[in-house]
Amino acid sequence: MSKGMIWFLITLMSIAVIGLGAIQYYWIYSAIQTNEEKFRSDVFDVLNRVAEKLRSVEGTRLYKSSFESNNKTGNVEDDFEYKYLLRMLNETSLAERISLPELKLYLSSYLADKDITEPYSYGVYSTTAKGFVIQNGHYTVIGNNKIVIHSAHDEGLYNTDFKVSIFDSGSLDPGLLMIYFPSRSYYEPIQWVALTSLFFTMIILITFIYTIYEILRQKKLSIMKNDFINNMTHEFKTPIATISLAADSIGNKNIIGDPSKVDRFLQIIRQENHRMLNQVEKVLQMALFDRQKIKLNISDVNLHEVIKTAAEHINLQVEQKNGYIETFLEADPCIVQGDITHITSMIHNLLDNANKYSPEYPQITVRTSNFATGVNVSIEDQGIGMTKEQRKQIFDKFYRAATGNLHDVKGFGLGLSYVKAMITAHHGTVEVKSEPGKGSIFTLSFPYLQQNED
């Protein structure tokens, strides 16, 4: 999959996720608006029904009172109209016109009919006295036209939008029936829908991010695999060609009769064969380590002796490039527990890298020092160095700074991953400091003692 295709898929999936989120937001917002409009309509319907009921009850009481009075005078209709008008013009109190039990019953009953179960506060507000004469099932005392607010609920009730007139506008004090829902939340009725929608959106988003991560990771692994195959082909091609040439030379009549020349070509065959075996062994060792089948042969290891041997071995290659190796072996003690074979390979790999990545005149410095629980081994070069991005990947299997079919630096990209795996197996650490053009410093930290593992 090409890089352009990957970014096309990322863009397409991003648009899909954003679009899905926008649609869900729109539907949730619309649901909230619809739910709120229905709630407001239901509340006003309840208040109007309660006010109508209160007016009806008052009219019935007046009719009964007038009927009883007119039984004495015999003029029911005229006397009722006269007393009703007189009542309207000479009201003594708004509170006296409303029964507390009836008001409470009507409100609770009609709210239940609408399935409104939120806690609420209610009151009857006098427009002439400018205060509540009834509040939450009790008569209240107001004084000298002053608004009395005792709590946040009182303030909420005073400022509520849910209010209707109780009596006719011709009344001296028609009164306002008001209701307030202190814990009302616009989102509560659909919160589970919103949370479920958010949950599934997060699943889609996480899946999307993970998919992109896997695509990029697989792309990286594919590049590294191709690099490995190309490098392996190159690494095996040279010794195979050399062995083939040496074998053909031995078969030559002029060579076969000269024992010294035969020995020389046999030595070349052995060296190239050993070289290929070493490369195969590296791959097999990493495969075994991935399956956690490597078992360390623990013994006391003199790091200074290991470093001296490795330095002497690599020094021949360094001198061919007019370079040098310096050692400052200052650790005391320098004995650690570990597998001498793998420790030797680690030191050799780091020295080999220092030489490979110093194109001209390698200058390699090896230092040892002690820390509280072990010995540090630092290998410094003045080579090409590494970028920050390269430092993050150098311990990955098959990773090489020189990619593709460029073989200016030989290898499979297994050396540093092997070092990382082996130092971890020895319960130690490896650190790297590097800047482009200024070289690199690799530091291995070996503990004195190894933990017993069954």
3-state helix, strand, coil in the chain (%, to 5): 55, 15, 30
**Pairing state between β 121-126 and 176-180:** antiparallel
pLDDT bin (cut points 50, 70, 90) of residue 12 is confident
Q: Which residue has the higher pLDDT, 74 or 451?
A: 451
pLDDT tier, 447 (very low <50, low <70, confident <90, very high otherwise): very high
**Rounded-to-integer distance, Cα 431 and Cα 309, Å:** 23
Which DSSP category does 330 fall into?
-
pLDDT single digits (tens) 137-183: 888 865 544 444 444 457 888 889 999 998 876 667 788 999 999 88
**Distance in angstroms (rounded) separating the CA atoms of residues 93 and 133:** 9
What phi and psi, each to the nearest 5 degrees, are found at residue 126?
-95, 120
Whole-angstrom Cα distance, residue 225 to residue 244? 28
Higher-pLDDT residue of 337 and 321 is 337
Residue 41: HSE in the Cβ half-sphere, 13 Å Cα cutoff: 6
**Which amino acid does the sequence have at 206?**
I
Q: How far apart are CA 302 and CA 37, in angstroms?
A: 84
- According to the model, what pLDDT value does residue 338 have? 92
Q: Are strands 335-338 and 374-380 parallel, antiparallel or unpaired?
A: unpaired
Could you read off the pLDDT of 377-422 as tens digits, one per residue?
Answer: 999 999 888 888 888 878 776 665 543 333 444 554 567 888 888 8
Query: Given pLDDT bands bounded at 50, 70 and 90, which one contains residue 294?
Result: low
Amino acid identity of 353? N
What's the chain's average pLDDT?
79
**CA–CA gap between residue 442 and residue 430 (Å, rounded):** 7
Domains of the chain: 3-143+150-186 (no CATH), 191-290 (1.10.287.130), 299-447 (3.30.565.10)
